[in-house]
Amino acid sequence: MKNTLGILLTYPGDNSDLRELLQHRSVGTLPFGGRYRLLDFNLSNMVNSGIGKIGVMSSSKFSSVIDHLGTGKEWMLSRKTGDLAILKGSSSTRIGEQLKINLRDLIDNIGYLQKFKGDTVVMAGSNLVTCYDFNEPYQIFKKNDADITLIYRENEPDFHSLSNDLFLTLDGHRVVKIDRFHERESENKFVDMLIIKKSVLMQILESAENSGEWDMMDIIADNLTSLKVFGALHTGYINRVTNVERYYTANMDLLDYDILKELFMTNRPIYTKIKDNHPTLYGDDAVMSNCIVGSGANLDGDMDHSVVFREVTAEEGSKISNSIIMQKCSIGKNVKLDHVIFDKECVIRDNATLIGTKDDPIILSKATII
């Protein structure tokens, strides 16, 4: 896939119940799994698939993207040579409905697209948790001389459908109809990943400027008879973070060894920003049961079924279960936490008790002190 450009699309999570966790960051840089960010997954998937030039679409909170990606060296990319670019993003909404793929974002970066000399573009959402090889749909794309190949899942009731989700009706591999969620005739759900010829993409951008239609997927759906659009089935684990429930579930899924193995124990590693911390120190009274723990922590409590990030401190007598504790949080003595999500640098003083539920976890914004 050397002649392929990767575009990592942003998800406008400011309008979701994730907003408490997005005060200082975009969805793609939401901390995940003890040390990662959500965008690490599809960015790594593109790199592992042989895509050597990638543009990451940012939101208005672009500083978190710049801080996390740095020079790009952890992904074997370089911002200095243009292998990695941070692109200008906009608000992906319109009255009454959220755009699926906002063509304004692409038009705002048309100079970047024009400079790319290859013939193929891969697009994928930055809020997807999956370990995926784009070479698999690329083979369908090349074999059929397709204009576009849409990646989809079959019968995915737990993927949390949104009103703007798309479902594909297929004739063999050929896509013959694209429906919105409430009008669907199939259960083949488009999972926000696609491959498109650069020439076709440029034609779509020109059409958008002439017609005022700003959702790329609407234009594709209206031109299925003139475009060669094919589907490629995604198998294996995938989760899409669109709200707090999906964020919580995706983190807790990592405590299932089979899912953890599929995501992180393959020949396609998930890369992230490296931090050189000392190993986590466990106190004499520490008890860990089915937890993921980042480096540099100092833990002397009882933790069960939780994801604990780097440099967290938990003092003796603390009991933490079914929770997500982000980087540099400090938890005092005899604290009881169940079904909570703490953003970075929260401080919980001695003897506090916070108990939420799976469907309604307690969320603390960054640097909250209780």
**One domain for residues 71 and 164:** yes
Backbone angles phi, psi at 38, to 5 degrees: -60, -40
pLDDT of residue 96: 46
**One domain for residues 84 and 151:** yes
pLDDT of residue 157: 62
Q: What is the pLDDT of residues 57-101, one digit of tens each?
A: 987 778 889 999 999 999 999 888 889 999 987 654 444 457 789
**One domain for residues 156 and 18:** yes
CA torsion angle 200 203 204 209 (round to 10): 170
Of residues 59 and 166, more confidence is placed in: 166
pLDDT of residue 158: 59
**One domain for residues 158 and 257:** yes
**One domain for residues 319 and 240:** no
- Mean residue pLDDT of the chain comes to 92
Mean local confidence (pLDDT), 7-17: 79
**One domain for residues 245 and 204:** yes
Of residues 337 and 12, more confidence is placed in: 337
Answer with the one of 203, 233, 264 that is the final residue of a domain.
Answer: 264
Q: How far apart are CA 203 and CA 303, in angstroms?
A: 55
Domain containing residue 335: 281-364
**One domain for residues 200 and 69:** yes
Q: What is the pLDDT of residues 21-48, one digit of tens each?
A: 998 888 999 999 999 999 999 999 999 9
270 occurs within a structural domain: no
150 occurs within a structural domain: yes
pLDDT of residue 247: 95
273 occurs within a structural domain: no
Q: Domain of 171: which CATH number? A: 3.90.550.10
**One domain for residues 206 and 105:** yes
pLDDT of residue 94: 46
**One domain for residues 67 and 185:** yes
CB 120 within 8 A of CB 139: no
269 occurs within a structural domain: no
3-state SS of 303-359 is EECCEECCCCEECCCCEEECCEECCCCEECCCCEEECEEECCCCEECCCCEEECCCC
Answer with the one of 264, 297, 315 that is the final residue of a domain.
Answer: 264
Answer with the one of 264, 289, 309 that is the final residue of a domain.
Answer: 264
50 occurs within a structural domain: yes
**One domain for residues 260 and 289:** no
pLDDT of residue 15: 62
153 occurs within a structural domain: yes
Domains in the chain: how many in total? 2
198 occurs within a structural domain: yes
Q: What is the pLDDT of residues 197-255, one digit of tens each?
A: 999 999 999 999 888 888 999 999 999 999 999 999 999 999 999 999 999 999 999 99
291 occurs within a structural domain: yes
pTM over 0.85: yes
pLDDT of residue 50: 96
Q: Domain of 303: which CATH number? A: 2.160.10.10
**One domain for residues 103 and 226:** yes
Q: What is the pLDDT of residues 261-311, one digit of tens each?
A: 999 999 999 999 988 889 999 999 899 999 999 999 999 989 999 999 999
Q: In this structure, how many other beta carbons lie within 10 angstroms of the beta carbon of residue 284? A: 6
**One domain for residues 181 and 292:** no
